[in-house]
Amino acid sequence: MENERKFVNNKKGLGTGWIVTIIIALLLLIFGGGYIHYSNSLNSAKQDYEQQQGDLQSALQRRSDLVPNLVNSVKGSMGQEKKVFGQIAQARKEYNTAAKSGNTKDQANASAQLSATTANLINVINERYPKLTSNDNVRRLMDQLEGSENRINLARRKYNDAIKIYNNKVVRFPSSMVANMKNMKTKSYFKADENAQKAPKVDFDN
């Protein structure tokens, strides 16, 4: 009789142990699967915004490379506009410095300033030097710069959209827990300050 009681108790203990083990295994499977799922989702979002960042950098660099070509093509015929050329040279220098630093905010501001000064030059050419616009090389460069601005605007929108998706995954539960474990932080949007988008005023009568 005593042996029968011990056998029953051992059987109950063994059954309870198996239940606990199964529960632990299920919890590990659920949490492990959740971690893998959200980790992959975060990594995919990171790769998406990095791809869009590369496309944006490419469009920005193309514009930066075209600017001096246009300046060199018109500089000899625009002796009075030295101030415009100086503004463009300074804006391009600041953009190159910001691009090397990797600071998104500084680069956005410098890019906006370069866009504004370049647009200022194109306006001056159109308004004060109509003969230059008939020059095939000048016209082609102006068209390429305008096309570059369109590419930059499109690339910037796509980059910011990708950043929004990534940032949402970083801050929203439960993926935020995985982001904290992987030390993944939110990223800045490519958005310039309003003042950076204003072209310096040039008085050609002084």
| pLDDT digit string, tens, across residues 153-177 | 999 999 999 999 999 999 999 999 9
Would residue 205 count as lying in a domain?
Answer: no
Q: Does residue 71 register a pLDDT over 90?
A: yes
Would residue 24 count as lying in a domain?
Answer: yes
Report the distance separating Cα 104 and Cα 98, nearest Å: 8
In which domain, by residue range, is 98 found? 2-197
When comparing pLDDT for 138 and 201, which is higher?
138
Report the distance separating Cα 132 and Cα 124, nearest Å: 11
* Number of domains the chain is built from: 1
Q: Which residues make Cβ contacts (< 8 Å) with residue 161, sequence separation at least 6?
A: 52
Report the distance separating Cα 46 and Cα 64, nearest Å: 26
Report the distance separating Cα 56 and Cα 99, nearest Å: 12
The DSSP annotation for 153-200 comes to HHHHHHHHHHHHHHHHHHHSTTHHHHHHHTT----------GGGGSPP
Q: Does residue 202 register a pLDDT over 50?
A: no
Q: Closest by alpha carbon to 155, among 24, 49, 21?
A: 49
Would residue 10 count as lying in a domain?
Answer: yes
Would residue 43 count as lying in a domain?
Answer: yes
Report the distance separating Cα 76 and Cα 134, nearest Å: 16
Mean pLDDT confidence for 13-32: 70
**What's the predicted TM-score (pTM) here?**
0.81
* pLDDT for the residue 78: 85
Q: Which residues make Cβ contacts (< 8 Å) with residue 204, sequence separation at least 6?
A: 80, 81, 128
**Residues 127-160 as b or e (16 or more Cβ within 10 Å = b):** eebeebeebeebeebbebbeebbebbeebbebbb
Would residue 202 count as lying in a domain?
Answer: no
Q: How many CA atoms lie within 13 A of 131 on its CB side?
A: 2
Would residue 204 count as lying in a domain?
Answer: no
Mean pLDDT confidence for 190-203: 68
When comparing pLDDT for 28 and 48, which is higher?
48
* pLDDT for the residue 61: 93
Q: Where are the beta strands (DSSP E) in 80-188?
A: none
Q: Does residue 201 register a pLDDT over 60?
A: no
Q: Does residue 23 register a pLDDT over 60?
A: yes
Q: Does residue 22 register a pLDDT over 50?
A: yes
**Residue 205's pLDDT band (boundaries 50, 70, 90)?**
very low
